[in-house]
Structure 1
C-alpha cells in the first residue's frame, strides 16, 4: 500500500514538474525565459517550448501587439507665454525589442507604465513650452507629433516603438478659465475691430474711386455735349445765313417774332413807344419801314 501511495505521489510530482516545464506561446505574445533574478534571458517566439521548472527558470509573457497608455489624470503644462493647460495624452506603442524591455523593467507592467508616463510627460511638456496659448489650442496635432518624435527617441532604449500620441484633452485649469476666456474675448474683439476698420477703409477707397470715375464720365459727357452743341450752333448759324440770303425780309420777320416771344411774359407791364422800330412788324408784314431794318430787328424794349 505504501508503495502505491509513493508511486502516486511521484506521478503527481512528475506531472507538476512537467506542466511547469512545458509552456505554449500564442502568436500575440513572446516569452522571455530567464534564470533566477532575470539573468541569462532568452527569447521564445510563438509555439511550444520547454524550460526548467521554477525557481530555476521562469517565463515572462510580453504582448507584441499595438498597445495604448492613457494617463489616469490630466497633467499641467505651461506654454511659452506662461499659461497653464490641462492635457491628457494617449500614447500608442508597440514593444519592438522584448529583451531590452525585460532588461529595463524585469517584465513588471507597473514599471513600464511609470516609465512611459514620465517620458511622455517630459516630451509633451517640452513641446508645449515652445508654443503660445493660441498656438497650443490651434496646433494640437503638430504638438502631438512633435512630442511623439521626442518620445520615440527616449523610449527606444526600452525596446518600445512609439507609434502616435493623441491629445484627448486640452483645457484650462478651473482657476484660470475665466481669465483666459476674457483675454480671448478681448483679442477677438480687437481682431474684429481691425477687420471693420480695414473694411471701412476699403469701402471709402472704392467710393473715392467711383466718384473719380463719375467725375471723369461727367467731364467727358460735358465735353461731348459742348462739342455737339457747338456743332449744332454752327449748323444753325449756317442755316440762318442761308435763310437770310434767300429771303432777308422773312428772316427779319422771323427774328422779330422770336424777340417778341422772349420779351413778353404773362403779367409783365411794358411801357414803350408804339412808333419804335421794335414793333414795326406789328404794323405790317414788311415792318412798316424800308430802312434801318437790321438795327430795328435786334432792338428790345425796356421793362418798367
Structure 2
C-alpha cells in the first residue's frame, strides 16, 4: 500500500515538473526565457518549447501585436498662453525588441503601460506648452505628431515602437468654458472689425481712383470736343467766307432768313419798327431800302 502511495506521489511530482518545463507560445506572443546567474535571456517565437523548471528558468510572454495604451479619459494640459485643456489621447504601440523590454523592466512586463503613460504625458505636455490655444484647436494632428516623435525616442530604449498618437478629444474645463468662449468671440469680432475697416479703406481708394480716372477722361473728352468744335467752326467760317465771296447778296439774304426763323416763334405777338434794318429783306427780296419803307405797316 505504501508503495502504491509513493508511486502516485512520484507520478504527480513528475507530471508537475514536466508541466513546468513545457510551454506553448501562440502566434500573438513571443517568449523571453531567462535563468539565474550570468546566463543571457533567450527569445523564442511561436511553438512548443522546453525549459528548466522554476526557479532555474522563467518565461516572460510578450504580446507582439499593436496595442492601445490605456490612458486617463481626460488629462489636463496647459498651452503657451496659459489655457487649461482637457485632452483624451490614444497611443498605439508595439513591442519591437522583447529582449530590451525584458532588460529594462527586469522581467515585469506589467509595468510597461504605466511607463509608456508617463512618457506620453511628458511628450504631450511639452507639445501643448509650445502652442497657443488657437493652434491647439486648429493644429491637433501636428501636435500629436510632435508628441509621437518625442515619445518614440524615449520608448525606443524600452524596445517599444510608438505607432501613432491621436487626440480623440480636446475640451475646456467646465469652470472656464464661458470665459474662453467669450475671449474667442471677442478675438473673432476684433478680427472681423479689422477686415471690415480694411474693406472700407480699399473701397474708398477704389472710388478715389475711379473719380480721378473719370475726371481725366472728362478733361480729355472736353479737350477733344473743343478741338473738334474749333476745327468745325474754322471750316464753317471758311465755308461762309467762300459763300460770301461768291454771292454776298444771297449770303446776306440767307443769314437774314436764319435770323428770322430763330427770332419768330408760332403764336408770338411782336411790336417792332418795320423800317428797321433787321427787316429789310422782308420789305424787298434784294434787301434794298425803298422810299416808302417808313410807311410799311407794323406786324402784329
TM category (shorter chain) comes to 0.7 to 0.9
SS of residue paired to 2:170: strand
Per mean C-alpha deviation after superposition, the further-off stretch among 94-103 and 31-40 is 31-40
SS in 2 for 1:53: coil
Which stretches in structure 1 are left out of the alignment for 5+ residues? 291-304
- Give the Cα separation in 1 of the matches to 2:110 and 2:206: 69
Whether contact under 8 Å (1:71, 1:89) holds in the other structure is: yes
Q: 1:102 to 1:7 in 2, by over 3 A?
A: same
Measure the CA separation in 2 of the matches of 1:52 and 1:171: 54
> Are the aligned partners of 2:35 and 2:58 in contact in 1 as well (CA < 8 Å)?
yes
Q: 1:186 aligned to 2:163?
A: no
Give deviations 1:216-239, integer Å, cap 9, x for gaps: 222222222222222221221122
Q: Identify if the C-alpha distance between structure 1 residues 239 and 206 changes in structure 2 by more than 3 Å, giving closer, same or farther.
A: same
Residue number in structure 1 paired with 2:118 = 118
Counterpart of 2:86? Answer: 86
Asked whether the 8 Å contact 2:28–2:63 carries over to 1, the reply is yes
Please state if 1:250 is matched with 2:250.
yes
2: CA distance, partners of 1:103 / 1:43: 12
Cα 1:37–1:95 change in 2 (3 A) is: farther
Per the alignment, residue 64 of structure 1 pairs with 64
Q: How far has the Cα of 1:37 moved from its partner? A: 10
The CA deviation at 1:263 is 3.3
Partner residue, 1:203:
203
Q: Could you tell me which residue of structure 1 aligns to residue 294 of structure 2?
A: none
Shifted more, 243-252 versus 75-84: the winner is 243-252
1:281-296 correspondence runs (5 A)? 281-289=281-289
Distance 2:234 2:277 in 1: 29
What whole-Å deviation, never above 9, does each CA across 1:103-150 have from its counterpart, x for those lacking one? 333444542121111111111101111111111111111111111111
Residue pairs, 1:1-304, within 5 angstroms: 2-35=2-35, 41-265=41-265, 271-289=271-289
Deviation of 1:36 after TM superposition, in Å, equals 6.4
Counterpart Cα distance in 2 of 1:109 and 1:102: 7
Q: CA deviation at 1:44?
A: 2.0
Conserved in 1, the CA contact under 8 Å of 2:101 and 2:109? no
Is the Cα–Cα contact under 8 Å of residues 120 and 151 in structure 1 kept in the other structure? yes
1:269 is displaced (CA, Å) by 6.3
How much is the aligned-residue C-alpha RMSD, in angstroms?
A: 2.4
Cα offset, 1:21, TM superposition: 0.5
| Alignment deviations for residues 196-243 of structure 1 (CA, whole Å, 9 cap, x no partner) | 111111122222222222222222222222222222212211221222
The runs of 5 or more residues in structure 2 that have no matched partner are 291-300
TM-score by length of 1: 0.87
CA distance in 2: counterparts of 1:78 and 1:37, whole angstroms: 48
Q: What is the distance in 1 between the residues matched to 2:70 and 2:243? A: 109
> Structure 2 length as normaliser, TM-score?
0.88
Distance 1:57 1:137 in 2: 52
